[in-house]
């Protein structure tokens, strides 16, 4: 595994100009150096984040740290602000209060693959990169997701799982220090979802990038993440450290206990723990 020295971070604060996002859903930071106080032990640093829509504060005073190379999963009920937070970290929403410091190299994969139907698969992978479209580069990353043989086909010929793997290749070709995943497996059938989860885990280890996964699936969160956060009332309500060996056994007592505790935090299947 190759270790890359991360480039400078970028800081977004209230009133910052909104950058132009590429069609491939990646946004570059606009700072020339890491801000003072940002150490190498922190890849993402969020302090006092507020995002309001009218009078409604979807995110209200949120603090968050993600270490370089750490895999963090974010759970919460629909409408709690999970996807809003992800969009802010991606640089797609800057109408905020507070401070957000993130790596310059970020990439996003959404639930919908968002492939351009009039471009071949390989061209979708390198879409938005500077310079001439590099087929060899695209094929290298398609090979990582098991789709090198599909480089020349049209997106409409892909299955749902294949299209999502192309989306992952398009994110990874940018060599991100932070990979943002917004329910990327939500539209997949159960078997395809299991294979996609395993693939993401392998790619994370190979690329050594930080990951924030937004999901509704508690089992998926415990299966993949180093830490699982539960979002409620515009902030982080609970944190669970997943200190289990990989690959993880979903039937082990430790795994089941973590999953059950998180479900309880979400008000599913048990009485919520005291002091929540």
Q: Is residue 272's pLDDT more than 50?
A: no
Tell me the average pLDDT of the chain: 85
Q: What pLDDT score was predicted for residue 9?
A: 60
Residue 31 reports pLDDT greater than 70: no
Per DSSP bridges, beta strands 9-13 and 97-103 are antiparallel
Beta strands in the chain, from DSSP E residues, in sequence order: 9-13, 44-53, 56-66, 71-75, 97-103, 106-109, 178-182, 210-214, 227-232, 235-241
Q: Which residue has the higher pLDDT, 132 or 40?
A: 132
Q: State the pTM of this model.
A: 0.84
Contacts of 212 (CB under 8 A, 6+ apart): 44, 66, 72, 73, 74, 86, 89, 178, 179, 180, 181
* Domain positions in the chain: 68-91+105-265
Q: How far apart are CA 25 and CA 6, in angstroms?
A: 20
Q: Give the model confidence (pLDDT) of 169-212 as tens digits.
A: 999 999 999 999 999 888 888 899 999 999 999 999 999 999 99
Report d(CA 257, CA 263) in Å as an integer.
10
Strand pairing class (44-53; 97-103)? antiparallel
Model confidence pLDDT, tens digit, residues 72-128: 999 999 989 999 999 999 999 989 999 999 999 999 999 899 999 999 999 999 999
| Superfamily for domain range 68-91+105-265 | P-loop containing nucleotide triphosphate hydrolases (3.40.50.300)
């Amino acid at each position: 595994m190759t270790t890359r020295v991360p480039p400078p971070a970028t800081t977004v604060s209230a009133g910052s100009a909104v950058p132009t996002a590429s069609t491939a859903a990646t946004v570059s930071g606009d700072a020339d150096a890491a801000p003072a106080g940002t150490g190498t032990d922190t890849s993402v640093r969020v302090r006092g984040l507020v995002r309001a829509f009218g009078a409604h504060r979807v995110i209200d005073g949120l603090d968050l740290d993600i270490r370089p190379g750490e895999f963090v999963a974010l759970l919460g009920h629909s409408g709690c602000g999970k996807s809003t937070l992800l969009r802010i970290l991606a640089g797609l929403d800057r109408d905020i209060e507070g401070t957000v410091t993130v790596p310059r190299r970020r990439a996003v994969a959404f639930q919908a693959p968002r492939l351009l139907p009039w471009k071949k698969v390989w061209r979708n992978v390198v879409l938005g990169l500077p310079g001439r479209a590099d087929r060899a580069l695209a094929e290298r990353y398609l090979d990582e997701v098991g789709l090198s043989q599909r480089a020349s086909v049209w997106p409409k010929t892909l299955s749902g799982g294949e299209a999502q793997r192309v989306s992952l290749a398009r994110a990874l070709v940018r060599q991100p220090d932070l990979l943002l995943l917004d329910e990327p497996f939500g539209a997949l059938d159960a078997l395809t979802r299991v294979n996609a989860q395993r693939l993401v885990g392998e790619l994370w280890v190979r690329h050594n990038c930080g990951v924030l996964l937004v999901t509704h699936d508690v089992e998926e969160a415990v299966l993949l993440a180093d830490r699982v956060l539960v979002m409620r009332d515009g902030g982080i309500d609970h944190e669970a450290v997943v200190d289990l060996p990989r690959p993880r056994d979903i039937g082990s007592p430790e795994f089941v206990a973590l999953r059950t505790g998180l479900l309880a935090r979400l008000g599913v299947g048990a009485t919520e723990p005291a002091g929540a």
